[in-house]
Structures are given as structure tokens and as C-alpha cells.
Amino acid sequence: EQIGEAGLRSDTLIRVMGLSRMGSVWAAQLESPSRELHEWFLEGVNAYIATQADEFPLAVRLSGEPPAPFTLEDLTTQYLFLAFNSTGNWRTEVLSQALVDHLGATKAAEISMLTVNPDDESEWASDYSLAENSMPTGAPANFPDLPEPADGSNSWATSARRSAGEAPIVANDPHIDVRRLPGIWHPVGLITPEWRAVGAAGAGLPGLGAGRSSHVAWGITNAYSDVADLFIERDDPNRPGHYLEGEQSVPYRIVEEVIRIRDRSAPGGYREHPLIVRHTRRGPVISDHGLTGSDGRVYSLRWSMAENIGTQVGIERVMLARDMFEAGEIIGLINAPYNYTVGDTKGNIAHYTAGHVPVRRRGDGALPLAVVDAGDDWPAFVPFARAPTSINPPRGWVGNANHRTVSGDFDGHWTSYVASSWRYRRMQELFDGDGALSDTDHWSAINDTLNPMARGLVPVMVEALEGQPETRAAAEMLAGWNFHDEPELAAPALFQAMMASLVRWIFEDELGETLARQYARDIYYWQERVYRMLLAGEWEWFDDKRTEVVESRDDLLRAAAGDAWSELQSRLGADPAAWRWGDLSRFRFSNPWVPGELADRLLGGGDYPGRGSGETLGRARFPGFGNYDPRIIDSLRFVANLGDPDKVLAVIPGGVSSRLFDPHLNDQLPAWLSGDIGYWWFSDAAIAADTQQEMTFRP
């Protein structure tokens, strides 16, 4: 209703999934203590809305739509939206189905997603054995305009033995698109005579997403657990409005929605967009609304959270835990697919995994599953006690980076889609060993820019390039690189441009331009597979089927280097000595209300040299296809040393105010850009010593 046509796609997905209806159900059945905590939060928010309109941002006041009072349904629906946004696997099922349609199941399995757990080097990839059609069908490879699930986070904790202060240290840096200032996190101190907590609160929700209390510290990441499946439904040709489960004909349940769209040309300033949503026993039919492309199939989407709405929220209560074990009990109530890293003042550390992963009767979640009968393909859910967990491990640290966390001996299927292993492998390098780490060591790790994928591939690239005159300069540039994606270096730009071109050279001949582009778009999908085969040296996919000769890996590497060199010359100038990664990759921070580069500089945060990449702990994930400007970045850097009574180390890329020209719109941005440490104070003495402004609220 506020942003017009630009919001239609997102609103359609939310309406089709029925998040608001689920939110109403959840709000109605919410019980103590979650109900009281959320009602108290609502009292404060709504008191502000009712009495402080003169403080609203100018854009809100000019919109003509004053904020409505918050309701409990608003809060529960927001939790559902955040959880669904963390559910990425179903989008990749569309890509996997397109690969099977184009190549056949056997050929498509050669390039299916490979996932790896670096702790035991176990790996998993689907063989597509339950594909609806095992032979190529020629179905069109048209894809919906949905964002790929590219967000994530890092989180880890070192034990008291491995921490310089002899108390656990917990670190967290959620990776989210926060380019629009002031960002999504708000530094908050919650202090009472009996208890206190300091950390980062998400906009519009109670509690802290990451923080420390008097007893525990915690961080959160996306677990990428596979909690949603696409199902291929069959319309009953003999009974309109029905679908088939085997031979049984079942009527679709119909839900009608109307989306109001701001439109100045329409009467009253709005037009209506009707939405008719068909539901099967598995969930809503999303293919009716352009959310799965146009291959002619009827796809329904089943989501485990829709079937596990309980009487608690849980996320807001982690901060109330008195130790790591009590935190684990609370995390077990959370129905969203999140990793939690927890430490406590008793010296304990742990990694827990929340959410409800289905036990599958058929299939592995990597492909849409054809409905063949009325049986329940999700007869149960994996209990919390069997979810990936690590408590006080002998090595003295726990951590995760959205990678595969189930071990090779896990009985069942956990997920077919996770992040590539590079960030977690870097954690292993930094934290394995016996030495004690300080909180500043943790801060340095959050900002680390070493690229493990590049370190593994560059020797192969150099060997292929150094023997040819036309690529020798590229070989020399890569050979002199320290593998850090720092803004003043040229080699990161060459490496990233080479990888983008290389993926096109490997796959475009057999997939075609559209399907190859979609495949390349999701780096999690192909990186481990391509990395493995580049190191192996021989792979049928290296041959370009469009030519009569048989190309090798090195042929493609040289072609990719030539493409990358030309691209960088056209964009950064003819002199390679002047190339800089930070000139190609730019952090751009914008104003949420006024678009444009000039507005970014005057009213937003401006643009700055980028550092890091999608493969580094200091995250800077860019969309590719010639756009190297990071979208997914460290939305918060947070280190809590439970042996330090006075402070936590933290900074956000923005500020705490969205009012134009307010000094707190982007006052934390300089420290974020430089990697400097910021302090959020915890003890009364530290708060008093650093107080610069004071405001008293009188009821």
C-alpha cells in the first residue's frame, strides 16, 4: 500500500503463504511467558506512536499514512516473515528441476549441489533418483524474480580455557542487506535492579537478536535446515477444482486475498489486485502466482513452521537464561531454522540448532516431489535432541558459518542446501590449537579477509596462465597475491572476474544462456562442485560442446583470464598497476526514502571501497554479472567477553536514527568501514563514565 508496484512481488509471496493468517493463529494461542513479554513491548511501542508523532521521520509524516498501533498479530507475523526469509532450499529446488528437465537426471546429478562438513569432511549431493522425469523433457527454463538465499552469518565461541580472560567469549556477525540506513539493528541496554542485558535488537521486535546478559552471551545465524519442500500436484482432469492423490480426487481449498497497491492514477489513489490461492493438503499452490517459473507444473509448498506453531516464541527469552543449558531449553522452543552459539559465566559453550526438519518418507528435499498417493510424506519431525548440537567440545570452541553441520553418520536427511565451506574453514584455521584468544583476536577474525577458495585455486590458475604470453601478466598478478580481499589490491578483482567468466565457460554450452545464468547466480549451489573439479583437473564439463576440439580445464582458465583482463581494463583503466578491488567493489549506503547516487552521498552514507568477498569471514557478498558492489555484509559486529564486566565490542554499519540530518543516522559507519572497535557499555560504572547525553522518561 505504501510503495506501489515495487512491493507487489514480495506481498504476493507473503499473501500466498498466508503469513498473516498464521500470525493470527499464533497470537491467539500464545501463552505465558511469551505473551506477557510481547504485550509489555506493545504497550511501549503504542504509547510512543500515540504521543510522539512530532518525532516521526519526515517521510513518515509526509506519507499521509500515520503508523497504526502495533498488535500481537503484527509481531507474530513478523517472526514468521523472518523465518520464511531464512528458508532458502525451496528456491533451489526450482533450479534443480530445471537442470533435470534440460539434461536428464543422470547428467544433472553431475552438477548437483555438493555440501561439505569440514569437521569430518563428510559430504552430500543428490543423485536425483526420484526425479519426476529421469530423461530430458525440454521444459522451459524460465525463473521467477526471487532473491537467491545468499544471506547468512558467522558465529563462534571460545571456552574459558581458550579465552584470555578465562571466561567464554562469544562473537557474531549476521550477514544481511543493510545498505539502507540506519540499518535493521538497534543497540539496546535492558537494565533493571535485578538483571541486565546489552546487545542488538531487531526493528519492531522485543528482546535481543545477539547480546550478553549477566549470565549468558549468544549469537545467531541461519542454519539453512531444509524445512520446506515443493510438491508436484496433479489437477484432476475430470473434476475442475480438484487435484489427485493417487486415484483419490480432493478439492482444492480456496483462499481469496485483495492487495491494495498505491497508484496515483487510480480512483482514491489505490487499485486492487485480487489473489486467488489454491491449497492442497501440503500447502499453497505457489506456481499459480509466478513464484516457480513457468514449466507447466502445479507446485505446492509445504513449510514445517506452518505445522509447528506453538504457544511460545522463544527468541525473546534467550536473554533471560541463567546458563547455557537453560538457553538450550529455550532454543528448543524456537520453531525457526536458526543456529545459536551460547556461552555462560560458568564457563560453558554450546552450539544449538532450532527449527523443525521433517523426516521424509520419500525424497531428499533437493527436487520437487511428485505426489503419488494420499500418504504423508512428512510423517514426523527430527526432535531437537537429534538436531546438530555441540556442548563443551574438547577443542575448546564452537562455531558455524551456515555450512553443513550434520556429521557423516547422521541418520536421516537434514538439508540439501547450505553455504560453501570457506568461512568455516577459515574459522578452523584461526581457532584450532591450544592458545588463548583475546576479545580483540575475535574482533580481528570478524574482519578477516583471507579467501580460502582463492588460496586453493590460484596455484592451478597460475600454472595454466604463466606459459602463455597473453596471460602471463595475469599469472604474475595472481602469483603475487596474499589471498586477502583487501581494497588496495588488484588480484581480488582479477580472481573474482575470472571466476565469473569461468563458470560461464564451463556451463553455458550445455545449459544455454538463461539456465547457465541462473546456475551461476547462486554461488552456494556450484562453488564446492566447481572447486573440486578444478583441483581434479579432468571433467567432461570442461569441454565446450560448441566446438570441434576438446577443451581442457587450462583452456577455459586462459579464456576466463582473457575475459577478466578485458573487463578490468574497460572498467578500471588500461594500466593494471592502478587496478584496485576497492574501485570495482563499492560499499554503497543509501537513504531509504530518497533514491539516487546524489541522495546517497548527501542524505545516506555515501560509497566507499569494498573489502572482503562472499568467501571471507569479513563478508561482502555481491550479486555478480558485472556487479561487484556488496549487498550482503556484516550487519553487526559483536564480541562479548564474559570475563569483562564493563562492555561488549560492537558496531553497526549505520546508526540508530532514521531522521534526515540526524547525527545518529550513520555515526557508527566510520568505525565499521575502518574495522575499528566500538564499545557498548554494560556495567553501571562504565555507562556513567561514558555518558554523553541523558534523557529521563517520566510516566
DSSP string, 319-356: GG-SSHHHHHHHHTT--S-EEEEEEETTS-EEEEE-S-
Burial of 110 by CB count in 10 Å (0-12 exposed, 13-18 middle, 19+ buried)? middle
Per the model's pLDDT, the better-predicted residue between 381 and 149 turns out to be 381
pLDDT of residue 146: 60
Tell me: do 670 and 537 sit in the same domain: no
Tell me the three state secondary structure of residue 681: strand
CATH of the domain at 472: 1.10.1400
Tell me: do 147 and 172 sit in the same domain: yes
Q: Place 419 in a pLDDT band, splitting at 50, 70 and 90.
A: very high
| Of the residues 555, 584, 613, the one at which a domain ends | 584
Tell me: do 68 and 86 sit in the same domain: yes
Tell me: do 440 and 513 sit in the same domain: no
| Of the residues 551, 584, 617, the one at which a domain ends | 584
pLDDT of residue 602: 76
DSSP state for residue 360 in the 8-state scheme: P
Of 182-186, 297-301, 500-504, the one with minimum mean pLDDT is 182-186
Cβ pair 413, 365 in contact under 8 A: yes
Whether 34 is covered by a domain: the verdict is yes
Tell me: do 462 and 536 sit in the same domain: yes
Per the model's pLDDT, the better-predicted residue between 602 and 134 turns out to be 602
Centre a 10 Å sphere on the Cβ of residue 203 and count the other Cβ atoms it contains.
11
Whether 149 has a pLDDT exceeding 80, the answer reads: no
Tell me the three state secondary structure of residue 447: coil
Whether 603 is covered by a domain: the verdict is no
Quickly list H helices, 573-682: 581-584, 597-603, 669-674
Tell me: do 56 and 126 sit in the same domain: yes
pLDDT of residue 258: 93
Largest CA distance in the chain: 82
**Which range marks the domain in which residue 542 is found?**
452-584
Which residue type sits at 693?
A: Q
Read off the pTM: 0.96
pLDDT of residue 265: 86
Cβ pair 589, 666 in contact under 8 A: yes
Per the model's pLDDT, the better-predicted residue between 144 and 440 turns out to be 440
Whether 699 is covered by a domain: the verdict is no
Cell numbers found for residue 11 = 506481498
Q: How far is CA 505 from CA 489, 496, 551, in A?
A: 26, 14, 10
Tell me: do 346 and 277 sit in the same domain: yes
Of 7-16, 553-562, 586-595, the range with the highest mean pLDDT is 553-562
Whether 145 has a pLDDT exceeding 80, the answer reads: no
CATH of the domain at 219: 3.60.20.10
Quickly list H helices, 627-668: none
Whether 427 has a pLDDT exceeding 60, the answer reads: yes
Placement of cell 537467491 in the chain: 148
Pairing label, strands 196-202, 185-191 = antiparallel
Mean pLDDT value across residues 458-467: 98
Whether 150 is covered by a domain: the verdict is yes
Q: Place 147 in a pLDDT band, splitting at 50, 70 and 90.
A: low
State the angle between helix axes of 472-479 and 553-572 in degrees (0 to 180), rounded to the nearest 10.
80
Whether 595 is covered by a domain: the verdict is no
Tell me: do 124 and 230 sit in the same domain: yes
242 has which bridge partners?
251
Tell me: do 28 and 164 sit in the same domain: yes
Average pLDDT taken over every residue of the chain:
94
Cβ pair 616, 634 in contact under 8 A: no
Whether 425 is covered by a domain: the verdict is yes
Whether 527 is covered by a domain: the verdict is yes
- Report the share of the chain in percent with pLDDT over 90: 83
Mean pLDDT value across residues 15-20: 96
613 has which bridge partners?
619
Identify whether 182 is preceded by a cis peptide bond (ω within 30 of 0): yes
Of 144-158, 267-281, 286-300, 468-482, the range with the highest mean pLDDT is 468-482
pLDDT of residue 19: 97
DSSP per residue, 251-315: EPEEEEEEEEEE-TTSGGGEEEEEEEEEE-SS-BB-GGGTSS-SSS-EEEEEEGGGG---S---G
| Of the residues 565, 584, 603, the one at which a domain ends | 584
Tell me: do 129 and 26 sit in the same domain: yes
Whether 139 has a pLDDT exceeding 70, the answer reads: no
Whether 244 has a pLDDT exceeding 70, the answer reads: yes
Q: Place 408 in a pLDDT band, splitting at 50, 70 and 90.
A: very high
pLDDT of residue 130: 86
Tell me: do 295 and 212 sit in the same domain: yes
CA–CA separation, 528 and 516 (whole Å): 17
pLDDT of residue 150: 55
Q: Model confidence over 157-209: pLDDT tens digits?
A: 999 999 999 999 999 999 999 998 888 999 999 999 999 999 999 988 999 99
Q: Model confidence over 356-398: pLDDT tens digits?
A: 999 999 999 999 999 999 999 999 999 999 999 999 999 999 9
Whether 268 has a pLDDT exceeding 90, the answer reads: no
pLDDT of residue 148: 62
Per the model's pLDDT, the better-predicted residue between 541 and 656 turns out to be 541
State the angle between helix axes of 491-521 and 452-465 in degrees (0 to 180), rounded to the nearest 10.
100
CA–CA separation, 565 and 544 (whole Å): 21
682 Cβ contact partners less than 8 Å away, ≥ 6 residues apart:
189, 196, 198, 212, 644, 645, 646, 647, 648
Tell me: do 505 and 536 sit in the same domain: yes
**H, E, C per residue of 153-188:** EEEEEECCCCECCCCCEEEEEEEECCCECCCCEEEE
Whether 623 is covered by a domain: the verdict is no
Cβ pair 155, 339 in contact under 8 A: yes
- Nearest-CA neighbor of 625 among 528, 451, 524, 504? 504
Q: Place 140 in a pLDDT band, splitting at 50, 70 and 90.
A: low
- Report the share of the chain in percent with pLDDT over 70: 97
Q: Hey, CA dihedral for 548, 551, 556, 562, is it positive or negative?
A: negative
Q: Place 462 in a pLDDT band, splitting at 50, 70 and 90.
A: very high
pLDDT of residue 193: 92
Which residue type sits at 86?
A: S
Tell me the three state secondary structure of residue 331: helix
Number of domains the chain contains: 2
